[in-house]
Structure 1
Amino acid sequence: MKILVVHNRYRSEQPSGEDNVVDQEVALLREAGHVVDRFERRSDDIADFSLPRKALVPLGVPWNPAARVALTTRLRQDRPDVVHVHNTFPLLSASVLDACRAADVPVVATLHNYTQVCPSGTLYRDGAVCTSCVGRLPLPAVRHGCYRGSSLATVPLALNLVANQRRWWSSVSRFLCISDAQRQTLIANGMPTDKLYVKYNFVPDTDVRRTGSGEHLLYLGRLTVEKGVRLLMAAWDRIAASGGLGVPLVIAGAGPLADDVSTWAATRRDVRFIGRLDKQTCQATVARSVAVVVPSEWLETFGLVVVEAMAAGVPAVVAGHSSLAELVTDGVTGLTHTPGDAASLAAALGRVVRTPASLGHAARERYEREFTRSVGLTNLLKHYRHVIEGERLGAHPVR
């Protein structure tokens, strides 16, 4: 099979699990003997653009004719069987779909977030789930500056949604959602049911697994409000006030709240803030955990850290909504807490340090059933073959 992967890589100072997923899928397909090429742009390159070219970047968010021309040339040269689109913001745009349509190459697109129905892709604003822009002109997103807190910066994303939503829905043969919770949310917000399928992300196995009961509770991820970092801090303050749990809280990651977390942790003997970790240190830190903590307040589309913990035989304590409740079966592979409730989170953390090792064993067993590389390869090829066969039989997407 010949596959062309289309992706706009994220900025290096904001490491993205999406980039990792793309890289791992490409490597997996190549190892299985398939020919995989990439058509990529890198957001890091914007820093080296001339000032006039930087000023033009927002104009290319809704439509980038140069990207369309470049992809048309690649498709003519390489003639892939299928194109797999991931992220197109900010340097590619929906113009790549027109190039694929003109070349009669079927398109599969993985939805890593909610950009099909929300300009910022999060369905989250001001500390709560938000659907103000769904099914209407996305003026609320502009008014509230949902992208980077800036109304001006949000305008190109709002225009992109208005101009290209129907183009996406008619040009893509199959959308791959990374959880059923995400799929159901997108359907509830207007996306075509018959185009949406679930394909979990896979996670490479690890030789570093938990052998004892664990040394610490671990938060590993971006340090942002929607990820529940402030909620975790409030819950831990409750725990400390009642005498503690006997194990420390370790917080690893980077983001806008890094300074707040560092200052807060410095005043507590049972909290360690260790910043961003490399891959090996990350695996070792996860494997030494009593549990990983994922208290997200937004509707997570997946939970890579949860599945990485499963691979290491480590349970998770998660907010009981969205994909997190789908990944963690309460009392079996981990524990859930009431989303946004510090007292509920504190109680769940107290329970998890007293739970038997069976939670970790069950988490590992589920990993082996649903999230391994072999399962991921089977699922990817199934979706590719479906759209390729549809193209051969003339079952083109509605234009």
Structure 2
Amino acid sequence: MHVLVVHNRYNTTQPSGENRVVDQEVELLRGGGHRVELFERRSDDIAARSLLGKAAVPLLVPWNPAVRTELAARLRTERPDLVHVHNVFPLLSPSVLAACADAGVPAVATLHNYTQICPPGTLRRDGRLCTDCAGSAPLPAVRHGCYRDSRLATVPVAVGLSVNRRRWWSGVERFFCISAAQREVLVRYGMPAGRLAVKHNFVPEPGAYRERDGEHVLYLGRLAEAKGVRLLMNAWDQLAADGGVGVPLVLAGAGPLEGEVTAWAAGRDDVRYAGLYDPAQCAQAIARSVAVVAPSLSLETFGLVAVEAAAAGVPAVAAAHGGFVELVDDGVTGLLHKPGDTASLTSCLRRITADPVRNHEMGWAARRRYERDFSPAVGLQRLEDEYRTAIAGHSGGGHGAPPARKGNAGPRRGSRAGRDGGK
């Protein structure tokens, strides 16, 4: 197939799981023999704009006519089988859907968050779940300044959601939800159920696997309240007061709580703040973990770190809501704690570190789950199947859809469990 991927890349000053997923998916498709090209904008480029150019950016969020013209011309020239849309904020806008319609090319879209029903895409306000804008006009978001704590900054996001909602729903053949939990929420608030498919993210083979008991408990992600960082700090303090768990906590990432985390970790033997890891360092840190902890307070649409841990044969401790309940089999591949509950998180951390034999059993089970549901071969097959469904739907029932791949979905690497006797 010939696929054009549309994505507005997030600012590189903050780690973006979405950027990583897009890059990995492009590589996966190319490795599977498909022709994949990119139509991109980069948020990093905003800094280089003139003062007037920067001031104009909010006006482009709801609609960017220049992007529509440019993309439509490219589509007419190159005639891809399909356009795969990821993020369009802030420089692309939903005008990309109009370009697809202009050129008669079907579009699919991966929904990485909740921006279809919530202007900031988080379903959170003032530290709690919020659905005030879901299924209705997003006026509450403007009133509360939900995007960047600014009413002014929230206006273009809210306007874009309001004026383009129907365009999204009619202009996209298939939406890819990255968890069933996300799909359930979106359907509940009015999105067309028949167009929403569940397509979990895949995770590449990590190249580093746990060989021994592990050296630390690892938090890997954004240092923010919504990610449960303060909850984790409180739980770890309780464990330390009871004598600890025998291994330190390592926190790696960046975000608004970085200063607080740095001060909290200073002078302690049982905590280390490692800063921002590159991908190779992330893989090594996961492989050396007793467990990876993901105590997010948000209703996460997926939970990439839990699957990255599973790929390395490491169990996860995660909040029992959102996508995590699909990724972590409680008591089998890891443990789920009551969201936002310090005592529950403390108990799970104690249990996951107390019994090395049981911990290894969970790690092996997590690896087997990864191979079954989240490996590159599985990811490629599901992506191809969804593409064919979208192309067939656009053409009115299958005429012109590319044929199915013969044989295996793609090269599958040998099972770590098989090579190492189950490790």
TM-score by length of 2: 0.92
Give distance in 2, aligned partners of 1:125 and 1:14.
21
Give distance in 1, aligned partners of 2:42 and 2:288.
35
Q: Deviations over 1:103-148 (max 9, x none)?
A: 1111110000000000000001111111011122212111221111
> In structure 1, the residue corresponding to 2:339 is in which secondary structure?
coil
Give distance in 2, aligned partners of 1:6 and 1:43.
14
Give distance in 1, aligned partners of 2:134 and 2:282.
37
Determine the structure 1 residue equivalent to 2:125. 125
Look up the equivalent residue of 1:330 and give its one-letter code: D
Give distance in 1, aligned partners of 2:65 and 2:398.
27
Look up the equivalent residue of 1:81 and give its one-letter code: D
Determine the structure 1 residue equivalent to 2:213. 213
Q: Deviations over 1:84-118 (max 9, x none)?
A: 00000000111110110111111110000000000
Distance 1:185 1:161, change over 3 A: same
Determine the structure 2 residue equivalent to 1:373. 376
Shift of 1:258: 0.5
Look up the equivalent residue of 1:64 and give its one-letter code: N
Give distance in 2, aligned partners of 1:105 and 1:394.
15
Determine the structure 2 residue equivalent to 1:354. 354
Look up the equivalent residue of 2:378 and give its one-letter code: V
Q: Deviations over 1:3-44 (max 9, x none)?
A: 010000000101211111111111111111111111100000
> In structure 2, the residue corresponding to 1:157 is in which secondary structure?
helix
Determine the structure 2 residue equivalent to 1:54. 54
Determine the structure 2 residue equivalent to 1:8. 8
Give distance in 1, aligned partners of 2:98 and 2:335.
45
Look up the equivalent residue of 2:121 and give its one-letter code: G
Determine the structure 1 residue equivalent to 2:406. none
Give distance in 2, aligned partners of 1:69 and 1:373.
35
Give distance in 1, aligned partners of 2:268 and 2:140.
40
Determine the structure 1 residue equivalent to 2:34. 34
> In structure 1, the residue corresponding to 2:210 is in which secondary structure?
coil
Runs (4+) of structure 1 moved beyond 4 Å? none
Q: Deviations over 1:303-325 (max 9, x none)?
A: 11111100100000000111011
Give distance in 2, aligned partners of 1:395 and 1:117.
31
Residues 271-286 of structure 1: pairs in structure 2 closer than 5 A: 271-286=271-286
Residues 248-327 of structure 1: pairs in structure 2 closer than 5 A: 248-327=248-327
Look up the equivalent residue of 2:227 and give its one-letter code: K
Determine the structure 2 residue equivalent to 1:387. 390
Distance 1:287 1:147, change over 3 A: same
> In structure 2, the residue corresponding to 1:381 is in which secondary structure?
helix
> In structure 2, the residue corresponding to 1:197 is in which secondary structure?
strand
Give distance in 2, aligned partners of 1:386 and 1:209.
36
Determine the structure 1 residue equivalent to 2:199. 199
Give distance in 1, aligned partners of 2:160 and 2:230.
32
Unaligned runs of 5+ in 2: 400-423
TM-score by length of 1: 0.97
Look up the equivalent residue of 1:19 and give its one-letter code: N
Give distance in 2, aligned partners of 1:148 and 1:321.
25
> In structure 2, the residue corresponding to 1:292 is in which secondary structure?
strand
Look up the equivalent residue of 1:157 and give its one-letter code: V
Residues 1:225 and 2:225 are matched in the alignment: yes
Asked if structure 1 preserves the Cα contact closer than 8 Å seen for 2:106 and 2:172, the reply is yes
Look up the equivalent residue of 1:210 and give its one-letter code: R
Give distance in 1, aligned partners of 2:182 and 2:327.
12
Between 1:313-322 and 1:31-40, the stretch displaced more is 31-40
Q: Deviations over 1:237-258 (max 9, x none)?
A: 1111111111110000000110
Determine the structure 1 residue equivalent to 2:143. 143
Give distance in 2, aligned partners of 1:253 and 1:20.
15
Residues 337-348 of structure 1: pairs in structure 2 closer than 5 A: 337-348=337-348
Between 1:311-320 and 1:280-289, the stretch displaced more is 280-289
* Equivalent pairs, count: 396
Asked if structure 1 preserves the Cα contact closer than 8 Å seen for 2:309 and 2:316, the reply is yes
Look up the equivalent residue of 2:266 and give its one-letter code: A
> In structure 2, the residue corresponding to 1:75 is in which secondary structure?
helix
Identity %: 63
Shift of 1:395: 8.8
Shift of 1:389: 1.6
Residues 79-118 of structure 1: pairs in structure 2 closer than 5 A: 79-118=79-118
> In structure 1, the residue corresponding to 2:290 is in which secondary structure?
strand
Shift of 1:73: 1.1
Give distance in 1, aligned partners of 2:385 and 2:256.
39
Q: Alignment RMSD, CA only?
A: 1.2
Give distance in 2, aligned partners of 1:2 and 1:64.
25
Look up the equivalent residue of 1:140 and give its one-letter code: P
Determine the structure 2 residue equivalent to 1:157. 157
